[in-house]
Structure 1
Amino acid sequence: MSAGIDEIAASIRAARKTKAMTQKALGQRVGLPQSHISKIEKGAVDLQLSSLVEIARALDLEVKLIPRRALPAVEGAVRVHGSTVETSRALNLLNEQAQLAERIKGSFPELSQVEGYQNAIRNIPRLQFDAAQLKALDEALQPAKRLKSLIDAPGSAARLAKQLEEATSSLRHFRQIQVRTPFIETQRQLPAYRLEEDDE
């Protein structure tokens, strides 16, 4: 899958989730089966332009061709506009995990791994999340999503401890990447200030 298709697929998925819309509901609005929407979001199908336009409009988005040299400026504007929604969703995800950690701590006070997981949640930088960062956080929380099913399972303390370690490691890895991102992003955005130089 090319980087461009991957980015479009991720944007569609993030926009759909932001609107709290299921794949089935989106499919019904654009006349496509849920299974096809799922493949589109995974970048597993060659998306026709007409379908892309329909999906974008169903999600209150627009498909536009812009000059490549203007891309950094447009991306900056999109980041500022979209950051509030994405940041809100990211904070909700983290709050859900913090509550889950408290629940585990109450049910399994002997598990020392809970404290490590709580620290990992608290140490996530409170930054402005864009769609890509929200997607990365969602992926980093995949091991944590298996915790809920283990709480009520009989004799699950050992498996819960192992899953907590995996979830903690995943969040710490996400944090390390986010801490390094601002410098990389700054370097990548520099061409936005040189737009006029290209007109010579």
Structure 2
Amino acid sequence: MSYATQVIAASLRAARTAKGLSQRDLSALAGIPQAQISRIEAGTVDPRVTSLIAMANALDLELTLVPRKAVPAVKSIVRQSGGQADPTRGPSQKEITRIAETLSRLQVAMPNLDGVMRLQKTFADLQRFQLPTIEPETLRALRKALERIEVPSFQIEALTRSQDAMQKLRNQLAHQPFVPPEDASPRPAYSLDEDDA
């Protein structure tokens, strides 16, 4: 299996797990047998274009052919938008996804609870920062505090603790210096040269 195929397989698997879907769920959404999805994610088969398109659509992704010269610019834009299902983000990214799911669940279950809307807004602000650099334990503690809001006897206390924890995290991120990723070397978004090296 080629490196490109491995990257595609890892990206599809990461996008599926980030959405909280099982292979069976994705199979139902994409109309592809679960066994085929398993083989694609394991990298034991080269996926057909039709399978990739169906899986991408089901995962809210888009397949696009990009001129080779534009790839660094496109990767930079995707990285900045947070839209890439990056398999290297690991436990912190999983906790971020679980926090977002918990907040969505709270918003549906308690639409009139004023503090939930403030938490949702603060979390949206947080997502502009480099959340995956935060320790998973910190994010896990925040998620557990949010989950306690669902328990009626702990609701007010948990809401206050969650707001304090989220505000503290926001302040911490706002005041930390920006550290570019290790692989981020300065590159122009485009080149005026016509040579394709």
TM-score (norm 2): 0.50
TM-score (norm 1): 0.49
